[in-house]
Amino acid sequence: LCLPLALAQNTSTGAPAGCGQDLSPIYYHLCSLQDAWGIVLEAITVAGLVSVFILALVFLGLIPFMENRQKKGILGVNFFFIFGVFGLFAIVFAFIVQAYPANCSVRRFLFGVLFSICFSCLAAHAVRLNFLVRRNHGPGGWATFLLALTFFLVEVVINVEWLLITNVRHKPLSADPSGNPCDIANQDFVSALVYVMFLILLAFVAAWPALCGGFSYWKYHATYILVTTFLSIAIWVVWIIMYIYGNRQVGNPLTWDDPVLAIALVSNAWVFVFFYIIPELVDMTKPDPETELQGLGGRQVQDLTLYGVKNKAFSMEELESEKKKTKFYIYRKGNPPSPYISYVGNGATAPRYAPHDSNIEHCPLPRAQMEPWRSHY
C-alpha cells in the first residue's frame, strides 16, 4: 500500500515516480521510473566508469612486466586513450540531465573533444604499426604521442571557435552578446563533428596496410583497430540518421534527441573497452616471437654448451677437450666461426674415415689421427 500512495503523491505534486518533491525538474531523468531510459543508462555508465578505472590500474600494474621495448612505445597513447574512454562514460550524465545553458556548452564542447582523443590515439597507433609490421621498429613513444596530441588539438580549436561564433552571432553589438548555447540545430551539431569523422576514417584506412608485412605479430594490433573503427562507424551512422531524420519521424525530437546521443556515447565507449583496451592489455606481457629470432650474420656465436653426447664413443674428457679446442679456434682473431658450430648431434653423420670394424658401422667415430706404425707397413 505504501508504494501506490507514494506514486500518487509524486504524481499530484508534479514530480515523476521515483523522484523527490524538492528535486529540480532538470534532474528528473536520473530518477524517473516513467522514463526508464535514464536509469538504465545510469547503471550501464557507472559500470563503464568502474571498469575503465580498474583497467587503468591493471594497465599501470603491467608496465613493469613488459619485455618488448617496441610495446613500451605505445604506453602513452594507450593511457591517453583510456582517459578519453573514461571521459565518454562521464559525459553521458550531461545528456541524461535536461538541457540548460551551462549543460549545453559542456555537451557541445566535450562530445567532439572526447571522441577526438580516442580516434586520434587509434590513428596514431595505426600509423606506427605500419612501420613495426615491416621493420619491427618504428617511431618512438614520444613521437607517436605527439602525433595523437596534434590530431586531438585540431578538434579542440574547432570546437572553441564554434562555441564562440555561435554564442555571439545572435546579438554581436548588444551589451549582452552571448546567445543560448542550447539554441543549436541538430544539423549544425553533426556538422561540427566532421573532423571527428575524418579521424575515424583515418584510423580505419591507416590500419589496413598494417596487415601486410613480414612481422606478423603486429598484425593483431591492426586487427583490433580495424574492428574497433568498423563498429564505431556503424554506431555513428545509426545515431546520425536517428538524430537528424529518424526522431522527427517516430515522435517528438525534444524527447528522443538526448537518449540517442547518450546511447551513442555508451555504446561506442563499450566498443572501445571490449575490442581495443582489453585486447591491448592482454598483449602487453606476451613475448614477441619475432624479436627472439636473430639472424646469423654479424651475431655472436652461440654458447658451446649445446653439445649433446649421443655417440657413446665420446667420453666426457674428450668432449671437454674438444670444446676448448673448438672455442680457441673460433675466437682466435682472423678465423670465421664454423658453420657447424650449432650442431647438436641430432642428425646422422658419416665417419671421416672408413671403419675397420663392422661392429661399429652404425656408430660415428671421433676424429682421430692414424697410428704412427701404420705408415711402416
pLDDT digits (tens, 9 = 90+) for 133-154: 888 887 888 999 999 999 999 9
pLDDT digits (tens, 9 = 90+) for 352-371: 545 555 554 555 555 555 55
Q: Which triple of cell numbers denotes residue 323?
A: 670444446
CA distance 348 to 362: 9
The answer to whether 171 and 180 are in contact (CB under 8 A) is no
Contacts of 57 (CB under 8 A, 6+ apart): none
CA distance 250 to 215: 51
* pTM passes above 0.75: no
For residue 69, what pLDDT band results from cuts at 50, 70 and 90? confident
pLDDT digits (tens, 9 = 90+) for 297-318: 333 334 333 344 444 444 455 5
First to last CA, the chain: 124
Q: Average pLDDT of the chain? A: 77
Q: Which triple of cell numbers denotes residue 127?
A: 600509423
Q: Give which of 79, 107, 75, 80 is closest to 92, Cα–Cα.
A: 107
Q: Give which of 90, 71, 181 is closest to 128, Cα–Cα.
A: 71
pLDDT digits (tens, 9 = 90+) for 331-346: 444 555 555 555 555 5
What pLDDT was estimated at residue 312?
Answer: 45
pLDDT digits (tens, 9 = 90+) for 254-308: 678 889 999 999 999 999 999 999 999 988 877 765 444 444 333 333 433 334 4
CA distance 145 to 62: 20
CA distances from 69 to 66, 89, 288, 310 (A): 8, 32, 10, 40
What pLDDT was estimated at residue 253?
Answer: 61
Instruction: Give the residue, 36 or 2, on which the prediction is more confident.
Output: 36
CA distance 206 to 208: 6
pLDDT digits (tens, 9 = 90+) for 76-89: 999 999 999 999 99
What pLDDT was estimated at residue 27?
Answer: 87
Task: Provide the 10 A C-beta neighbour count for residue 278.
Answer: 15
Half-sphere exposure of residue 131: CA atoms within 13 angstroms, side-chain side: 13
